[in-house]
Amino acid sequence: MIAPGATIGILGGGQLGRMLAVAAAQLGYRTHILAPDRESVAAQTASSLTRAEYDDRDALAAFAAACDVVTYEFENVALGPVEWLAERIPVHPAPAALRVAQERVAEKRFVEGLGGRPAPWAAIASRADLAAALERIGTPAILKTVRFGYDGKGQTVIREPADADAAWDAIGGPSVLEGFIAFAHEFSILIARGSDGGTVRYDAPDNVHVDAILRTSTLPAAAAVLAQVDEATALAGRIADELGYVGVLACEFFVGPDGPVFNEMAPRVHNSGHWTIEGAETSQFENHIRAICGLPLGTTALTGRQVTMRNLIGDDPWDGALTEPGAHLHLYGKGATRPGRKMGHVTTVTR
Ligand code: AMP
């Protein structure tokens, strides 16, 4: 067990790190952020900050010496530095989880090997591959970069075969083509797995995305989601077991005609779990800290009949939430407002 008083290192400086640092502080831990960004909203709530590139070996060595355990809040950290740290200090989730989640082809193969079903897909390395894949998968389809996509970045919809040239011009590199799933609902499974292999799971939220960015998570989810939750949860559990995972794991699914369609996994706390701060007995952030420090996991029961989380994106107004009954406002402390930028969120719990 890594006892309270110890220092938790966090790779990444965004709002997920910020909320992890708050949860860690509540349990008596210190946190140390390592991130290259000029603005780190995580550092505003953490105990220390090292502003450095992830591959800066001197900075990494000092970071390893200053921390008792390391986690990450951002899955696009290069694998090399994380593996380097893991040779010197406990890193959770283990780099194997990051390796799988960073690369869409590896992720889909891994999940298929565990009995999961992604949308029909093909690995694409050339314009000719794309033509062949479009023949097989048909349209509409989505072309996604193999690496470094988030919030809809690095993906483009191909509505009809004539869109293929424009899509290839936009992506133009290692990618996957996915059949478009005409789903009525999207949901996510969040589980926390402890170092003893025990897991807890959260109720599955119904997630609504607009322009590929999460807008709302609502609980309880629609009946169509609830009917697929057990199968999706079992898959998330197999993923976590296979990876020897420690921490919070998020898996996103579409409600498919014959069961859950796996979209992607995130080896970290997740935006569709922000509602757990007030809407569950133990938040995803606290359970992640508990897991990586070897503490018992907390219960995840809903605290109300209904819970809704809405993201504040770009210049969405936030002040109305201050007078809304049952609403909990979270602002991330970001300096500049930009269209599509997640600035905060509001969770409403109906008891
Ligand atoms: P991703 O970054 O891959 O999670 O995609 C972001 C969002 O785009 C998803 O949450 C969906 O709303 C949408 N999307 C991604 N892939 C597909 C697909 N194969 N079919 C339908 N919608 C998709």
Same domain, 174 and 230: no
The token pair at 265 is 């996994």
Residue 52 CA, ligand 1 centroid: distance in Å: 32
- pLDDT at position 303: 98
Cα 75 to ligand 1 centre (Å): 17
Answer whether residue 199 is part of any domain.
yes
- 112 found inside a domain: no
CATH number at residue 170: 3.30.1490.20
Centre of ligand 1 from the C-alpha of residue 213, in Å:
9
Q: Which residue has the tokens 């390893």?
A: 64
Are 131 and 147 in a shared domain?
yes
Same domain, 219 and 328: yes
**Do 82 and 216 belong together in one domain?**
no
Query: Where is the domain boundary, 162, 179, 196?
Result: 179
In contact, 300 and 203? CB cutoff 8 Å: yes
Q: Name the H helices within the chain.
A: 15-26, 57-66, 79-86, 95-101, 104-113, 127-137, 164-171, 223-243, 276-279, 284-292
pTM (2 decimals)? 0.96
**Tens-place pLDDT, residues 179-227:** 999 999 999 999 999 999 999 999 999 999 999 999 999 999 999 999 9
Calculate the CA dihedral of residues 307, 308, 312, 313 and round it to 10 degrees. 140
3-class SS at 221? coil
- Which residue's C-alpha comes closest to atom 1 of ligand 1? 152
Cα–Cα distance measured from residue 159 to residue 13, given in angstroms and rounded to the nearest whole number: 36
Residue 115 lies in a domain: no
Give dist(CA 65, CA 314) in Å, integer. Answer: 38
How far apart (Å, rounded) are the C-alpha atoms in residues 100 and 265?
9
Domain boundary among 43, 75, 91: 91
Query: In this predicted model, what pLDDT tens digit does every residue of 306-340 receive, in sequence order?
Result: 999 999 999 999 999 999 999 999 999 999 999 99
β-pairing verdict for 7-11 and 69-72: parallel
Give me 141's structure tokens. 């389809």
Residues 83 and 129 in one domain: no
The answer to whether residue 5 scores a pLDDT higher than 70 is: yes
Query: For ligand 1, what atom is nearest to the CA of residue 150?
Result: 2
Residue 205 DSSP class: P
**Mean pLDDT, residues 247-272 taken together:** 97
Range of the domain at 86: 7-91
Looking from the CA of residue 214, the nearest atom of ligand 1 is 10
